[in-house]
Structures are given as structure tokens and as C-alpha cells.
Amino acid sequence: MAILQSRQLTKRFGGLVAVNRVSLAVEEGSIFGLVGPNGAGKSVFLNCVAGAQRPDDGRVIFRDQDTTGSPAERLCHLGLSRTFQIPQPFPRMTAIDTVLVAAHFGSPTDGVPPLEQARRSLRFVDFPHPEGTPVSGLNTVELKRLDLARALASRPKLLLLDELAAGLMTGQLGALEDILRKIRDSGVTIIMVEHVIRTILGLCDRLAVLRQGEKIADGPTREVAGDPAVIEAYLGQRR
Amino acid sequence: MSAVKQARRHGRRSRLEFASMRSPVVLTLAVTAAVAIVGTARAGPFIIVNGLVTGAIWALVAAGLALVFGVMNIPNFAQGEFFLVGSLSGYLVFTNVSPRIGGGLAWAAPIITILVALLVGMLVGGLLDVVIFGQMRRRIREQWVMNTFVVTVGISVVMINGYQLIWGTDYRGIPAYFTAPPIHVLGVGIAIDRVFALAVGAVAISGLWALLRFARLGRAIRAVSQDEAGALMSGIDISRIQTLTFAISSGLAALAGATLLFNFPAFPYVGIKPLYVAWTVVILAGLGNVGGAVVAGFIIALFQTSTSYFIGSQWEDVVPFALIVVILALRPNGLFGRGVRGVWEQ
């Protein structure tokens, strides 16, 4: 069953069509990869789905509801959470406070008290410091984990990750990949925009490829990765 | 900017500020202490006592100003008119309630009065935010600070003239909330009304602090002021939080207005002085710094009481303005400034 569908989703900026009639269906319980060269419209697509930008055309169906143009906080309450390419922490809070905010305001609680929910999320991402650590002293990997913990604390059904691996060194990727698998196994669907090919191939069940705003491929990861059109989009035409 | 750089910048900035901010803070606190000691030695402890009472109330008005600037990036020049809303509601409620409850319950009338004023202030503020700033949030992205500044000045003018139109220019005040004789502390007679004002200030400031520190709503307010994208992602309805923030800020000013009714009767321009004092306080503390505003409120009040005693009460308003000029010239981020990031500019 598809947890998220986009139908003919379109976003224009003046004369530029950033996302052009993109239709996708993301199966519940899977990790779905969204790839493409820079400027292909991946982040804009994500923004339109997550309520950060309003699509000009087309529909977004999330958990059988038409959520086209819904504001981000409503989507969060419905169970859609996200992280950004650059972590967006609350710079003058502690780690636990940051996560607690999402536990308080995320989708309706399942009876777990917010503080307990927040602690569970921090443990889930193996946050390496005591919970009272100030956010201002954390490094990139720790901030990414914190961003993930905060997203999880809002009890999402669908998690959108925008270039989680960006800015990380290869050695740091493995641990994050393990966390993402753990998240999927706990029943949360993941859509990830990513550039690191190894991470994509290792994690994603399905892939969609965007190029200049249009979807040029969509299918199981292995098939898509071998598609000549995809290779051309990334590497240019073979002469 | 890469996330690494951003994270490092936060860390380094706070350390740098800490190092460079120590001396002016120490200097200011030393000067303040000196004024307090010298003033007390030459004029008696009432300098400190009056400073505390006035300071508590300035702190209320200024904390509201700092809150709205920190969370919404609105330099609110209509804050004084919420003080006026408080004075007027206070006057109307007290003069109607007080004659009806007498005897043993007379002490309840001022409390009912200031609570009603707080509520009215919050309602008017919340309504104003929905009608004006809520619309601006949806439509304006550029030049937010400048636009809202002009709008608040406009709101102030409209409210002053609206008041004048309906209630005229008469002073509507009361001689005192309490009829009991003054109490004596350290040989200074303090009117019960002033003790009451100090208590109201202390309770309201502690309440605000506890709200911001521990409550669910306070967490949301801090989250919105620190990172809007993150707040949205956590499921916070930003516009609602901003409406509540504005309501709280307006409520605090109205509470201050009602509490000081014995000293500041309601009339169209009563808000001007609290507004300018509050701005001095906020500039001294650093824009958006709520905790600093409380400390700075006491500092300014102490300077005012000393000036008024040693130089003359007509100089009382000169001191805050002179301070604004000095602070802006020497230390534009304020004493405790920590480079508050704007809500809309992240």
C-alpha cells in the first residue's frame, strides 16, 4: 500500500519549471531513494510534499488524505517528519530539550509521556552524549543524529531525509545507515534525497531519478541503477 | 555554509562574546552598585526601595518588549498603549468593583482588577496580532523589521487617538488601591500600593520565567525564536505561537499599567514614558534578551530614582535617553547581547 503519492506534481519559479508533473508512489515500510544531478528538483519536490513550499499543480496524497498545500505543522501531526540538508537545531537548548519540543508537538501521543518519548528517540539514534549537553557544542555528525532524534520524537509514519550523508566522511556513514535501517524496521517509511551512491545502493528498496524537474526513471534500485538513461543523466552521453 | 562551519560558529561565537562581554557587565554592575551605595549613604535606603519597586514594573514592560522582539522580530512601539489598556481597564474595574465589595474582602478588589487588566491586555494583543501581524506574516517577507516598526508606530497613534475619541483627555486615576497605612522597612515608609506593585512584578516575572523554562508553551516559544524551520518540523504551529507570544507581551504591559494606576492615571499619552523606559531597558540588555531585560529594568530604575532625588525629577527622563545614546554608540548589542538571530532571517 502506498503511504505517499504525488500526482502530476508541478512547481514553477517564474519561467523555470523546478518540478514538472512528477508522479510517484512510495510503499509503506520501504526506503525510497530520490536521486538526480544538482538542480534536478529533488529538494523542491521534498519541500512541496512536506508543506514547506506550495505546489502550483498536481496533488499530494499522504495516508489516503489529500494534503496538497497543507502547512508543515499539520503534516507533522499527520505523521510526516523531515530533516534538512543542514541540521536545524535550536542553538540555545540542550539536546533533550530540542527533542522534547518535537515529542510535545508532534503527532498525537500513543500514551508515552513526552519526556520518555524524547529519551527513547535519543537512545534510538545512539546519541553519544548525556541528554543535558548544550546543542551549541555539537559537531556535524552529532547534529545530524539530533535532527533524526527530533524527527523521530514526533512519532512519524513517513520520514523525509534531505541529504543526510552530506558533509560526512565515509567512515561516519555506516553508523547512520544502520540507524536508518533500524528506523525502517520499526515501521517508519523513509524517502531520502541522496548523492552518496554507496548509501543509496545499500539502503534503498526503490529509486526515482529526477532530471531537470522531470522523472526519468522509477523502479527497484538495481534496475534503475543500471538504466542507460540514468547513467547518461549522471555521467553525460557516451560518445 | 556547511553544517560544520555553522556548528563551529555557534560555539566560537558564544565563547568570544563571553570573553568580551565580561568587562562592560562588571563595569555597569559596579557603577550600579556604587550609585546604590552612595545614594543610600546620602539619601537613605528609600533610593534602593523605590528603585526596586519601579524596576520590577519596568522589567515587566521591557520583558514583554524583549519577548516580542526575540520571537517575532517586531520592534513594538505600541507597547506603551498596552500599558494604557491596562490603566484604563484597571480604572474601570476598580472603580466599579471596589465600592461593591467592602469590609473583609476589600483586599481582593486590586487583585481582581489587575487580573482583569492582564486578560484584557492579552485579548487585545492577541486580536491585534491575528488581524494585523498574522496578515503581514503571510504576505511580507522582506524588510520585516522596518515594516512592522512602522506598523506598530501606526497602531500606537491609532490607539492613542481612539482612546481620546472615546474617553477624552481627563485623567482617570485612583489615589491608592489600599487604604492601609504604609509599612516601614529600614526606616523608610513604603505605601502598601508600592509593596503590592513589587509583589506583582516579582510574581509575574517568576511566572514568565517558569513558563519559558518549563511549560510546553514556553518550549514552543523558545523553539520558534531559535529556529523556525526546526519548530515547523517539530509540529509547532508557528503563527499560533506568535499570536500567543504577542498576547503575553501585551498582557504584561497591561498588568504593569493596572498595577501602577495609583501613580500613572489613565490618559491618552500615559504609555509614552513606559514605552521609552522599556526601550532603554531592552537596548541596555540587548534586543530579545528576556532575562537581561529584568536585570536592566532594575538598573535603569535605580538610576532614575537617584537622578530624581539628587538632580531633580525633571531630569528623570533625560537619564534613560542619555543612556540609549551611550549604549548604542559604545555597545550596540547591549550589555548581555548574544547576537539574537531574527526569526525571519534564518
E strand residue ranges, chain B: 183-185, 188-190
Q: Which residues in chain A are contacts of B341 at CB distance < 8 A?
A: 91
Q: Tell me if A81 sits within 8 A of A72, measured CB to CB.
A: no
Q: Which residues in chain B are contacts of A105 at CB distance < 8 A?
A: 216, 220, 234-236
Dist CA A71 CA A48 (whole Å): 10
Residue B128 lies inside a defined structural domain of this protein = yes
Check whether residue A109 and residue A194 sit in a common domain: no
Check whether residue A67 and residue A171 sit in a common domain: yes
Assign residue A169 a region (left: φ > 0; alpha: ψ between -120 and 50; beta: otherwise): beta
Does position B16 have pLDDT exceeding 70, yes or no? no
Cα–Cα nearest to B256, from B131, B39, B83: B83
The total number of residues written for chain B in this structure: 346
Q: Cα–Cα distances in Å, from B149 out to A63, A168, B55, B155? A: 43, 42, 26, 10
Which of B3, B14, B235 comes nearest A107 by C-beta? B235
Which of A76, A91, A102 comes nearest B10 by C-beta? A91
* Average pLDDT score over residue span B259-288: 89
Check whether residue A110 and residue A196 sit in a common domain: no
Touching check for A61 and chain B: CB below 8 Å? no
Check whether residue A95 and residue A204 sit in a common domain: no
Task: Number of helices (H) and strands (E) in chain B: give both, helices first.
Answer: 13, 2
Structural domains of chain A, count = 2
Does position B341 have pLDDT exceeding 50, yes or no? no
In this predicted structure, what is the pLDDT of residue B9?
Answer: 43
**Least confident range of A225-234, B174-183, B198-207, B267-276:** A225-234
- A167 and B4: CB-CB below 8 Å? yes
Count of A-B CB contacts under 8 Å:
100
Q: Tell me if B263 sits within 8 A of B164, measured CB to CB.
A: no
Structural domains of chain B, count = 1
| Most B-contacting residue of A53, A86, A96, A159 (CB-CB within 10 A), to test interface | A86
Taking only the tens place, the pLDDT of each residue in B40-95 is 777 777 778 888 888 888 899 999 998 999 889 899 999 999 999 999 999 999 99
Dist CA B123 CA B76 (whole Å): 17
Question: Closest-CA residue in chain B for A118?
Answer: B234
- A144 and B7: CB-CB below 8 Å? no
Taking only the tens place, the pLDDT of each residue in B85-110 is 999 999 999 999 888 887 777 788 99
Touching check for B2 and chain A: CB below 8 Å? yes
* Average pLDDT score over residue span B222-238: 89
Q: Which residues in chain A are contacts of B340 at CB distance < 8 A?
A: none
Taking only the tens place, the pLDDT of each residue in A22-64 is 999 999 999 999 988 888 889 899 999 998 889 999 999 999 9
Residue B3 lies inside a defined structural domain of this protein = no
In this predicted structure, what is the pLDDT of residue B10?
Answer: 43
Taking only the tens place, the pLDDT of each residue in A161-181 is 998 888 788 888 888 899 999
In this predicted structure, what is the pLDDT of residue B25?
Answer: 66
Exposed, middle or buried by CB within 10 Å (0-12, 13-18, 19+), for B135? exposed
Residue B171 lies inside a defined structural domain of this protein = yes
- CATH of residue B110's domain is 1.10.3470
Dist CA B174 CA A114 (whole Å): 48
Touching check for B231 and chain A: CB below 8 Å? yes
Residue A208 lies inside a defined structural domain of this protein = yes
Query: Which residue blocks in A9-157 are alpha helix, DSSP H?
Result: 42-50, 72-78, 95-105, 114-124, 140-153
Touching check for A160 and chain B: CB below 8 Å? no
Range of the domain at A132: 89-153
SS3 call for A211: strand
Exposed, middle or buried by CB within 10 Å (0-12, 13-18, 19+), for A25? middle
The answer for residues whose C-beta is within 8 angstroms of residue B119's C-beta and 6 or more apart is B251
Residue B1 lies inside a defined structural domain of this protein = no
Please say which residue of A153, A168, A198 terminates a domain. A153
Check whether residue A136 and residue A187 sit in a common domain: no
Touching check for A174 and chain B: CB below 8 Å? no
Please report, rounded to a whole number, the percentage of residues in chain B having pLDDT higher than 90.
40
Residue A214 lies inside a defined structural domain of this protein = yes
SS3 call for B200: helix
Exposed, middle or buried by CB within 10 Å (0-12, 13-18, 19+), for B165? exposed
Please say which residue of A153, A180, A200 terminates a domain. A153
Please say which residue of A126, A153, A180 terminates a domain. A153
Q: Give me chain A's average pLDDT, please.
A: 89
How many other CB atoms sit within 10 Å of the CB of residue B41?
Answer: 10
Dist CA A48 CA A60 (whole Å): 8
- CATH of residue A224's domain is 3.40.50.300
Q: Tell me if A71 sits within 8 A of A49, measured CB to CB.
A: no
pLDDT tier for residue B11 given thresholds of 50, 70 and 90: very low
Q: Which three cell numbers stand for residue A201?
A: 545502493
Range of the domain at B60: 22-330
Check whether residue A163 and residue A133 sit in a common domain: no
Assign residue B2 a region (left: φ > 0; alpha: ψ between -120 and 50; beta: otherwise): beta
- A136 and B235: CB-CB below 8 Å? no
Check whether residue A132 and residue A175 sit in a common domain: no
Check whether residue A229 and residue A161 sit in a common domain: yes
In this predicted structure, what is the pLDDT of residue A238?
Answer: 61
Residue B275 lies inside a defined structural domain of this protein = yes
Check whether residue A146 and residue A161 sit in a common domain: no
Which of B14, B227, B231 comes nearest A136 by C-beta? B14
Q: Which three cell numbers stand for residue B328?
A: 548604542
Question: Closest-CA residue in chain B for A159?
Answer: B233
Does position B319 have pLDDT exceeding 80, yes or no? no
Q: What are phi and psi of A169, to 5 degrees?
A: -90, 160
Q: Which residues in chain A are contacts of B231 at CB distance < 8 A?
A: 90, 101
Check whether residue A69 and residue A186 sit in a common domain: yes
Q: Which three cell numbers stand for residue A231?
A: 547513467
In this predicted structure, what is the pLDDT of residue A237?
Answer: 65
Check whether residue A108 and residue A60 sit in a common domain: no
Residue A95 lies inside a defined structural domain of this protein = yes
Residue A84 lies inside a defined structural domain of this protein = no
Which of B7, B223, B341 comes nearest A101 by C-beta? B223
Q: Which residues in chain A are contacts of B230 at CB distance < 8 A?
A: 88-90, 98, 150
Taking only the tens place, the pLDDT of each residue in A114-141 is 999 999 999 999 999 999 999 988 988 8
Residue B345 lies inside a defined structural domain of this protein = no
b/e map A204-227, b = 16+ CB within 10 Å: bbbbbbbbebebbbbeebeebbeb
In this predicted structure, what is the pLDDT of residue B8?
Answer: 43
- A150 and B11: CB-CB below 8 Å? no
* Average pLDDT score over residue span B179-194: 83
Q: Which residues in chain A are contacts of B224 at CB distance < 8 A?
A: none
Residue A140 lies inside a defined structural domain of this protein = yes
Question: Closest-CA residue in chain A for B235?
Answer: A73
pLDDT tier for residue B199 given thresholds of 50, 70 and 90: very high
Residue B183 lies inside a defined structural domain of this protein = yes
Touching check for B7 and chain A: CB below 8 Å? yes
In this predicted structure, what is the pLDDT of residue B24?
Answer: 62
Residue B10 lies inside a defined structural domain of this protein = no
In this predicted structure, what is the pLDDT of residue B345?
Answer: 31
- B229 and A71: CB-CB below 8 Å? no
* Average pLDDT score over residue span B225-239: 89
Q: Give me chain B's average pLDDT, please.
A: 83
- Using CB atoms and an 8 Å cut-off, which of residues 200-229 of chain B contact chain A? 216, 219-220, 222-223, 226-227, 229
Does position B21 have pLDDT exceeding 50, yes or no? no
Q: Which residues in chain A are contacts of B3 at CB distance < 8 A?
A: 86-87, 140, 143-144, 166-167
Check whether residue A147 and residue A162 sit in a common domain: no
Taking only the tens place, the pLDDT of each residue in B124-179 is 999 999 999 999 988 887 888 899 999 999 999 999 999 999 999 999 999 989 88
